[in-house]
Amino acid sequence: MSKKKIIYLAGPLFTHAELEYNLKLKDMLLNDGFSVFLPQEDAEDAAQERERQNQECIFRKCVEGVDTSDLVVAILDGVDVDSGTAWEIGYAYAKGKPVIGLRTDFRAFSDGVVNLMVEMAIDSLARDEAELLKIMEKFL
């Protein structure tokens, strides 16, 4: 039996809605047979935690999370991609890790789905959760 692939789930984590959506995606990916590193839990990256530990510690845990992952799933919703998510995408790209984008937001740039640099760094783009799970099948 092969080892479960580890996904680093990148996305904004600053509103209740974002935190809940991240948890929903994590559960969906766990149920699909993956292991998931979720910064809001595994790096303790939440507002209350930032008061207890310094930002460098959170940063290091997230870098280690990307380093030890097999691939990255990045939430690309919003007018512009979350800046932390964009950094995680670029870092994963530089490390040669596959990056799967998820953009459920129907807004688009005039010449692309998201920022050109982000769009060129991702391997596949899903427009909803069902399409994401279909793309993820090749990584099981």
Q: What is the pLDDT of residue 57?
A: 86
| pLDDT < 70 stretches in the chain | 1-2, 45-53, 109-111
Identify whether the C-beta of residue 49 lies closer than 8 Å to the C-beta of residue 41: no
Q: Looking at residue 114, what is its pLDDT?
A: 86
Q: What is the pLDDT of residue 109?
A: 63
Domain 6-139 has CATH 3.10.20.30: no
Query: CA 73, CA 136: separation in Å to the nearest integer?
Result: 9
Q: What is the pLDDT of residue 79?
A: 86
* Amino acid residing at 132: L
Per-domain boundaries in the chain: 6-139
Cα radius of gyration rounded to whole Å, the chain: 14
SS3 102: strand
Q: Which residues of 6-41 are buried (b: 16+ CB within 10 A; e: fewer)?
A: ebbbbbbbeeeebbebbeebbebbeeeebebbbbbb
Q: Which candidate, 28, 34, 128, 26, places its Cα nearest to that of 77?
A: 128
